Amino acid sequence: MEQKDVPRSCISMEADQEDEFLQTLPRERIWEGTPYLYHFQGFWCPSWAFHGVISFQKHFQARDTDLIIASVPKSGTTWSKALAFAIVNRNRYGFTANPLLTANPHDLVPFLEMDLYLDKNNLPNLEDRSDPRILATHLPYASLPVSIKDSGCRIVYVSRNPFDQLISHWHFLLKRSQEEAGPLVPLEHFFDMYCKGVHSNGPFWDHALGYWNASLENPNKVLFLKYEDMKEDVNLGYLKKLAVFLGFPFSADEERDGVIEQISRLCSFENLKVLQANNTGKMKGGFQKSSLFRKGEVGDWVNYLTPSMAERLKNQVEEKLAGSGLTFKAS
């Protein structure tokens, strides 16, 4: 769905009308105990995030200097947030006292709809944040507030092959159910719903294509990254590209002094996973911080999906992405 189709009535809706409106939308639930997903503006929005989405769309005023990290959940968001923060703030903090050593990347780079705009009683004060503000969203491109599209702000979209992304998401739900001693979501069922596009911020292909097409139309506005390319790039070309896109390119001296390697190490899965800030305690949403750092590999899905499941998803992804030029490496 294009932004022009987003119902204006939603944008002007008062907070006390939201619950009533929600009840008019189609809804699905992955499994008993998981939050309802509401079909809204062409994507599946978790019930608890609905107010945040409306409020974000209604109130957020982007600045030309803003940097937005966008993704479908479980695509490398935490990693990308850490990288963007480390690149932008490298001269401010250095590497021994870097906030990434003591705070979770999601605390340093908050989500707009799922964090900053979530509170029904208060709007966030984003005015006092110094430039560039690094912020994040899981919303599809079509649902971004107009000011993000119309301003000069830049968007980094991180994507991941849907096989690993869905397995990562399933594990995340599983862990949450185990913690809460709730019913466990069977993989077959989760997979089936996924193929129907029913998962948080899904369908996957619509989400990816929205940003992919925007990156083709305006490469200076949207940088489209792939998790798999970043993982296999031993020369760290993706980091240089990201730094240039963010407006903080590495100097020749920095390259010589190994600053790029330092950022790569600081933000690596191995480093972040063992930090106390990332392996103890809970996030605002109630889930364990450690659940953001599971395996961090490409191709782990082969341990879970049967050949017939893999075939079904492969065909579906090929069909949905046909003609777009967008492809994913899944191993």
Of positions 40, 46, 74, 135, contacts ligand PAP by CB under 6 A: 74
Q: Is residue 272 a contact residue for ligand PAP (CB under 6 A)?
A: yes
168 scored as a contact of ligand PAP (CB under 6 A): yes
Q: Which residues contact 212 (CB under 8 A, 6 or more apart)?
A: 157, 159, 224, 324, 325, 326
* Strand arrangement of the beta sheet that strand 134-137 belongs to: 134-137, 67-71, 154-159, 222-226
Among the listed residues 67, 112, 29, the one whose alpha carbon sits nearest the alpha carbon of residue 247: 67
Please, what is the minimum distance in Å from the beta carbon of residue 108 to ligand PAP?
A: 13
Number of Cβ within 10 Å of residue 118's Cβ equals 22
Residues 273-292 within binding reach of ligand PAP (CB under 6 A): 292
* Stretch (H or E) spanning 270: helix 269-274
**Of residues 32-51, those binding ligand PAP (CB under 6 A):** none
Chain position carrying tokens 């947030």: 81
HSE at residue 59, side-chain half, CA atoms within 13 A, is 22
**Smallest distance, ligand PAP to C-beta of residue 281, A:** 15
CB 47 within 8 A of CB 35: yes
- The residue (of 13 and 56) whose beta carbon lies closer to ligand PAP is 56
CB of 107 to ligand PAP, least distance (A): 12
Among 257, 290, 248, smallest CA distance to 78 is for 290
Residue 70 CB, nearest approach to ligand PAP (Å): 11
Q: Which of 115, 164, 206, 228 binds ligand PAP (CB under 6 A)?
A: 164
Q: Is 106 a catalytic residue?
A: no
Site string (293-312) toward ligand PAP, x via CB under 6 A: xxxx---x------------
Residues that are catalytic: 138
Which residues here bind ligand PAP, judged by CB under 6 A?
71, 73-79, 164, 168, 171, 267-269, 272, 292-296, 300
